[in-house]
Chain A
Amino acid sequence: MAATVAPSQSMMSGGGGLHPLQAQGLHAAQRQHQQQQQQKQQQGQNQQPHEDVEPFDVQNRHLTINDFVRVRTLGTGTFARVVLVRPSHGTEAERSKVYALKILRKTEVIKLKQLDHVRHERQILADVSGHPFITSLVASFSDHDFLYLLLDYIPGGELFSYLRKFRRFDEDMARFYAAEIVLVLEYLHEQQGGIAYRDMKPENLLLDADGHIKLVDFGFAKRLGNNDNEHPVETYTLCGTPEYLAPEVIHNKGHTTAVDWWALGILIYEFLTGYPPFWHQNPIEIYKQIVEKPVIFPHDPPISDEAKDIIRQFCTVDRSRRLGNISGGAARVKAHPFFKGVNWEAVANKQYRGPIIPPVRYPGDAQCFDVYPEEDAVKDEYTSEMEQKYDDYFKDF
Chain B
Amino acid sequence: MSSTGFTSPFGANANPFGAPRIDVGPMHRVAEEDESENVASPTTHAFGQGPAAEGLTFQHTFGGDAASSQLEHSGPRSPPYLDTYPAQYNFARRTSVSAESLKPTSETYDNWVPPFSPKTPEQLERLKKAISGNFLFKHLEEEQSSQILGALVEKRIPAKDIKVITQGDTGDFFYVVEKGSFDIYVNSKSALQPGPDGMGNKVDTISAGGSFGELALMYNAPRAATVISAEPGCILWVLDRVTFRRILMESTFQRRRMYENFLDTVPLFSTLTPYEKSKIADALESKKYPPGHAIISEGEPGNSFFLLEAGEAVAQKHGVETPVKHYKPGDFFGELALLNDAPRAASIIATTEVKVAMLGKSAFQRLIGPLEGILRRERYVGIKSGVEDTDPLHVPKA
Chain A interface (Cβ < 8 Å from any Cβ of B) = 1, 9, 72, 77-78, 112-117, 157, 160-161, 164-170, 172-173, 175-176, 179, 199, 201, 203, 209-210, 219-220, 226-227, 229-232, 234, 236-243, 250-254, 256, 274-275, 279, 281-284, 287-288, 291-292, 301, 319-321, 325-328, 339-343, 346, 350-362, 367-371
Are the CB atoms of A361 and B29 closer together than 8 Å? yes
24 contacts between A and B (CB under 8 A): A1-B30, A77-B95, A115-B101, A165-B61, A168-B43, A172-B18, A179-B17, A231-B274, A236-B249, A274-B79, A275-B86, A288-B135, A301-B43, A325-B279, A328-B369, A341-B8, A341-B14, A353-B23, A354-B3, A355-B17, A355-B18, A356-B22, A357-B24, A359-B29
Closest chain A residue to B40 by CB distance? A166
By the criterion CB–CB under 8 Å, are A321 and B366 in contact? yes
Determine if A359 and B24 form an interchain contact, defined as CB atoms under 8 angstroms apart.
yes
Q: Is B58 located at the chain interface by the 8 A CB criterion? A: yes
Q: Which of B253-261, B290-298, B301-309, B328-336 contacts its partner?
A: B253-261
CA distance A359 to B97 in the complex (A): 32
Closest 3 CB pairs between A and B? A172-B18, A351-B6, A239-B98
Chain B 71-105, CB-CB to A under 8 Å as 1, else 0, gives 00100010111001110111101111111111110
Known contacts A117-B98, A229-B264, A361-B29; decide if A320 and B366 are in contact (CB<8 Å): yes
B6 touches A254 (CB 8 A): no
Q: How large is the interface on B (under 10, 10 to 19, 20 to 34, 35 or more residues)?
A: 35 or more
| B41 in contact (CB, < 8 A) | yes
Whether B88 pairs with A281 at a CB distance below 8 angstroms is: yes
Given contacts A114-B98, A301-B43, 17 further A-B contacts (CB under 8 A): A117-B98, A173-B17, A231-B260, A237-B102, A256-B282, A275-B91, A281-B88, A288-B135, A321-B363, A325-B367, A341-B14, A343-B8, A343-B9, A346-B6, A353-B4, A359-B24, A369-B62
What residue of chain A has the Cβ atom nearest to residue B92's Cβ? A164
Q: A229-B274, A292-B135 are in contact. Are A359 and B96 (CB under 8 A)?
A: no
Q: How far is the CB of B269 from chain A (nearest CB, A)?
A: 12
With a cutoff of 8 Å between Cβ atoms, the chain B residues found around residue A77 in the complex are 95-96
Given contacts A167-B41, A229-B260, contact A237 B100 (CB under 8 A): yes
Within 33-80 of B, Cβ neighbours of A (below 8 Å) are at 33, 37, 39, 41-43, 56, 58, 61-63, 66, 69-70, 73, 77, 79-80
Are B283 and A319 touching (Cβ within 8 A)?
yes
Q: Flag if B79 contacts A339 (CB, 8 Å).
A: no
Q: Report yes or no: A240 in contact with B80, Cβ–Cβ below 8 A.
A: no
Distance A1 CA – B27 CA, assembled complex (angstroms): 11
A201 contacts which chain B residues (CB < 8 A)? 94
Interface pair B3/A353, CB less than 8 Å apart: yes
Asked whether, in the complex, the Cβ of A254 is within 8 Å of the Cβ of B3, the reply is: no
Contact B249 A326 (CB under 8 A): no
A231, B23: Cβ atoms under 8 Å? Answer: no
| B273-317 to A contact mask, C-beta < 8 Å, 1/0 | 011011101110000000000000000000000000000000000
When C-beta atoms are compared, the residue in chain A nearest to B255 turns out to be A254
A320 B282 Cβ-Cβ under 8 A: yes
Query: Could you say which residues of chain A place their CB within 8 Å of the CB of B17?
Result: 172-173, 175-176, 179, 342, 352-353, 355
Which A residues lie within 8 Å of B91 (CB)?
A: 164, 275
The answer for the CA separation of A157 and B102 in the assembled complex, in Å, is 34
Query: Complex formed: what's the CA distance from A188 to B98 in Å?
Result: 21
Complex Cα spacing A371 to B6, Å: 36
Q: Which residue of A lies closest to B37 (CB)?
A: A359
For A232, the chain B residues whose CB sits under 8 A away are 274-275, 278
* B1-22 interface code vs A (CB 8 A; 1 in, 0 out): 0011010111000111110111
Question: Are B3 and A320 within 8 A (Cβ)?
Answer: no
Residues of A within 8 A of B252 (CB): 236, 252-254
Docked Cα-Cα span, A201 to B206, in Å, equals: 36
**Does B266 belong to the interface (CB within 8 Å)?**
no
Determine chain B's interface SS by DSSP, over half rule: loop
CB-CB under 8 A from A161, the residues of chain B are 61-62, 77
CA distance A350 to B31 in the complex (A): 24
Is B256 within 8 A of A165, CB to CB? no
Inter-chain contacts of A358 with B (CB < 8 A): 29
For residue B219, CB closer than 8 A to chain A, the reply is yes
Residues of B within 8 A of A220 (CB): 96, 98
Within the assembled complex, what's the spacing in Å between the Cα atoms of A174 and B132? Answer: 41
Q: A231-B278, A283-B221 are in contact. Are A326 and B367 (CB under 8 A)?
A: yes
Residues of A within 8 A of B218 (CB): 238, 250, 287
- Verify B62–A157 contact, CB threshold 8 A: yes
Using CB atoms, name the residue of chain A closest to B4. A353
Q: B261: which A residues are within 8 A, CB to CB?
A: 229
Report A-chain residues with C-beta under 8 Å of the C-beta of B85: 274-275
Contact status A352-B3, CB under 8 Å: yes
CA distance A168 to B84 in the complex (A): 11
Smallest distance from the beta carbon of A142 to chain B beta carbons, Å? 20
Q: What's the Cα separation between A287 and B136 when bound, in Å? A: 9
Any chain A CB within 8 A of the CB of B248?
yes
B178 within 8 A of A: no
* Closest chain B CB from A204 CB (angstroms): 9
B104 touches A355 (CB 8 A): no
A346–B248 alpha-carbon span in the complex (Å) = 45
Give the residues in chain B near A169, CB-CB below 8 Å: 42-43
Q: How far is B8's CA from A339's CA once the two chains are assembled, in angstroms?
A: 14
Interface residues of B in 95-125 (CB under 8 A from A): 95-104
Query: A319–B4 Cα gap in the complex (Å)?
Result: 40
- How far, in whole Å, are A337 and B76 apart by their CA atoms in the complex? 37
Is the beta-carbon distance between A252 and B94 smaller than 8 angstroms?
no
Tell me if B139 counts as interface (CB < 8 A to partner A).
Answer: yes
Please state if A241 and B16 are interface contacts (CB–CB under 8 Å). Answer: no
The answer, among A116, A160, A172, A230, for a CB contact under 8 Å with B101, is A116
A243 and B94 contact, CB distance less than 8 A:
yes
Name which residue of chain A comes closest to B368, CB basis: A327
Closest to B10 in A: A341
Cα A351 to Cα B102 with chains together (Å): 42
Q: How far in angstroms is the closest Cβ of chain A from B218?
A: 6
- Asked whether B165 is an interface residue with its Cβ less than 8 Å from the other chain, the reply is no
The residue of chain B having its C-beta at the shortest distance from the C-beta of A167 within the complex is B81
Identity of the chain B residue whose Cβ is nearest the Cβ of A9 in the assembled complex: B66
**If A237-B101, A252-B248 touch, does A167 touch B84 (CB 8 Å cutoff)?**
yes
Whether A357 and B94, one on each chain, are in contact in the complex, defined by CB atoms closer than 8 angstroms, is no
